[in-house]
């Protein structure tokens, strides 16, 4: 997390809107980004490696703690997205699973902070976000990380980024009901402009790896397939269960402890489906390490094959792709991208394509055409760059 206050043109507008809504200026405005995962999918809850980066699309939140009484635990929430109006809740009476809509993210953070032993007074909050919703770019973690960064500072709780990662994971797992790992919030809290976050999910050690696509004459295109997904649904959880089963049968704490060389022996110990799930995790961990090495020694122009291999593994072994993602990846690859893969939890969401600037338009046109021909909803295609993690912006 960065502690400096950077200029963000939208912070002032949000503060003004906050004051017009709640009748007093906010105590500050905080922001946290969405993420793209360059490589390392479903490896986080297997205590493995991931390589996401924070993107230049973010949630912003203006917050004011209640000043009337510490015992007044009323929370008032308003979002600029949609027209739901102000939502009121009692911070002292939150029930996991009971809150619907976007409010479950800020309230989940409040609930998880309380479980962490912290006293959270009532507050007013105005949220704004340009992270596309349901696109697999972690719009929910962007909200949670902006909120926890604000509350951590305003209440003087002094949580470290690592602790905030665990608290937001608890919010997602126990309050929202999605059995996800720690990748997304780590990228949102610990990301840095121009870098990918190489995270060891066993001990939360982070190394920032320079990822400057532009310098290499490349862009990272995101293809939002518009197929919406939810990790609170069955697919994500069932993959997680298979991985835990595999680790148990192989006698290790987590699949992180199995190497590519061990795979030969693993085949005889696992049923065919579990073996393929396990093989994805083991080979994906290895691809993350190779990608980090390649970025450091050769640069982004040389990671294309690793991205392609990652997609094939998710499509064939982990079986979390879908026709739209496969079409996006294949079409991008056939029209000039040097590598492409689905990103995030799968079953929908976005694909990424690493594309020479000269071929960007061609990839874009080809994907749009291919989707129209297949009768799929038109995708949204845009570029992203590695941006700063959570920070105070006013």
Residue 348 binds ligand GLA (CB under 6 A): no
Q: Which stretch binds ligand GLA (CB under 6 A): 160-168, 180-188, 204-212, 265-273?
A: 180-188
Residue 226 binds ligand GLA (CB under 6 A): no
Helices (H), 6-78: 9-22
Which of 288, 3, 53 shows the shortest CA–CA distance to 191? 53
The one among 44, 224, 317, 324 contacting ligand GLA by CB under 6 A: 44
Residue 153 binds ligand GLA (CB under 6 A): no
What is the rounded distance in angstroms from the CA atom of residue 168 to the CA atom of residue 391? 16
From residue 126 to residue 145, what is the string marking binding to ligand GLA with x (rule CB under 6 A)?
A: ------------x-------
Residue 350 binds ligand GLA (CB under 6 A): no
Q: Which stretch binds ligand GLA (CB under 6 A): 78-86, 115-123, 176-184, 286-294?
A: 176-184
Tokens, residue 38: 């360059």
Q: Which stretch binds ligand GLA (CB under 6 A): 12-20, 68-76, 177-185, 310-318?
A: 177-185
Q: Which stretch binds ligand GLA (CB under 6 A): 26-34, 38-46, 118-126, 306-314?
A: 38-46
Q: How far apart are the first and last CA of the chain?
A: 15
Q: 103 or 288, CB closer to ligand GLA?
A: 288
User: How many degrees, rounded to 5, is the angle at CA 217 between CA 131 and CA 293?
Assistant: 80
Please name the residue that has the structure tokens 């874009």: 364
From residue 245 to residue 274, what is the string marking binding to ligand GLA with x (rule CB under 6 A)?
A: ------------------------------
Q: Is 332 helix (H, G, I), strand (E, B) or coil?
A: helix
Dihedral sign computed on CA atoms, order 155, 159, 165, 166 = negative
Supply the minimum distance, in Å, between the C-beta of residue 34 and ligand GLA: 11
Residue 108 binds ligand GLA (CB under 6 A): no
Q: Which residue is nearest to ligand GLA (CB)?
A: 345
Q: At what angle do helices 183-190 and 161-170 cross, to 10 degrees?
A: 140
Q: How many other C-beta atoms are found inside a 10 Å radius of the C-beta of residue 377?
A: 11
Q: Which stretch binds ligand GLA (CB under 6 A): 25-33, 41-49, 92-100, 247-255?
A: 41-49
Which one-letter DSSP state was computed for residue 89? E
- DSSP E strands, 130-177: none
Catalytic residue annotation: 184
Residue 41 binds ligand GLA (CB under 6 A): yes
Q: What are phi and psi of 123, to 5 degrees?
A: -160, 165
Q: What are phi and psi of 98, to 5 degrees?
A: -90, -20
Q: Which residues of 316-350 are buried (b: 16+ CB within 10 A; e: fewer)?
A: ebbbbbbebbbbbbbbbbebbbbbbbbbbbbbbbb
Supply the minimum distance, in Å, between the C-beta of residue 97 and ligand GLA: 18
Residue 64 binds ligand GLA (CB under 6 A): no
Residue 42 binds ligand GLA (CB under 6 A): yes
> What is the size of the binding site for ligand GLA (CB under 6 A)?
13
The one among 344, 348, 379, 389 contacting ligand GLA by CB under 6 A: 344
Q: Are 88 and 144 in contact (CB under 8 A)?
A: no
Task: Classify the phi-psi angles of 239: left when phi > 0, otherwise alpha if psi is within -120 to 50, otherwise beta.
Answer: alpha
Supply the minimum distance, in Å, between the C-beta of residue 45 and ligand GLA: 6
Supply the minimum distance, in Å, between the C-beta of residue 234 and ligand GLA: 14
Q: Where in 182-201 is the site for ligand GLA (CB under 6 A)?
A: 183-184
Supply the minimum distance, in Å, between the C-beta of residue 180 and ligand GLA: 3
Q: How many other C-beta atoms are found inside a 10 Å radius of the C-beta of residue 211?
A: 22
Q: Which residues bind ligand GLA (CB under 6 A)?
A: 37, 41-42, 44-45, 138, 180-181, 183-184, 231, 344-345
């Amino acid at each position: 997390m960065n502690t400096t206050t950077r200029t963000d043109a939208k912070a002032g507008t949000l503060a003004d809107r906050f004051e017009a809504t709640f009748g007093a200026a906010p105590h500050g405005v905080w922001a946290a980004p969405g993420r793209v995962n360059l490589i390392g999918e479903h490896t986080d809850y297997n205590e493995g490696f991931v390589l996401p980066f924070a993107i230049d699309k973010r949630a912003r939140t203006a917050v004011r703690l209640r000043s009337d009484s510490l015992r007044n635990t009323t929370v008032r929430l308003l979002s600029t997205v949609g027209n739901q109006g102000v939502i009121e809740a009692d911070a002292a009476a939150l029930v996991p699973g009971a809150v619907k809509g976007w409010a479950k993210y800020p309230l989940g953070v409040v609930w998880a902070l309380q479980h962490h032993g912290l006293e959270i007074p009532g507050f007013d909050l105005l949220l704004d976000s340009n992270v596309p919703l349901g696109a697999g770019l972690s719009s929910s973690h962007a909200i949670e990380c902006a909120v926890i960064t604000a509350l951590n500072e305003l209440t003087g709780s002094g949580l470290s980024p690592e602790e905030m990662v665990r608290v937001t994971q608890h919010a997602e797992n126990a309050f929202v009901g999605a059995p996800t790992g720690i990748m997304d919030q780590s990228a949102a809290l610990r990301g840095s402009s121009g870098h990918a976050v190489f995270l060891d999910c066993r001990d939360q050690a982070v190394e920032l790896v320079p990822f400057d696509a532009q310098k290499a004459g490349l862009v990272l295109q995101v293809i939002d397939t518009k197929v919406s997904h939810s990790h609170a649904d069955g697919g994500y959880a069932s993959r997680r269960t298979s991985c835990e089963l595999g680790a148990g049968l192989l006698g290790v704490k987590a699949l992180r402890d199995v190497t590519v060389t061990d795979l030969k022996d693993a085949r005889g110990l696992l049923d065919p489906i579990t073996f393929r799930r396990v093989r994805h995790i083991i080979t994906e961990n290895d691809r993350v390490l190779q990608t980090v090495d390649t970025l450091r020694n050769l640069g982004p122009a040389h990671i294309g094959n690793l991205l392609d291999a990652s997609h094939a593994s998710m499509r064939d072994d982990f079986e979390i792709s879908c026709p739209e993602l496969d079409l996006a990846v294949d079409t991008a690859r056939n029209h000039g991208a040097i590598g492409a893969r689905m990103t995030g939890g799968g079953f929908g969401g976005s694909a990424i394509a690493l594309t020479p600037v000269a071929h960007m338009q061609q990839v874009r046109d080809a994907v749009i055409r291919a989707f129209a021909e297949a009768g799929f909803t038109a995708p949204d295609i845009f570029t992203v760059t590695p941006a700063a993690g959570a920070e105070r912006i006013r």
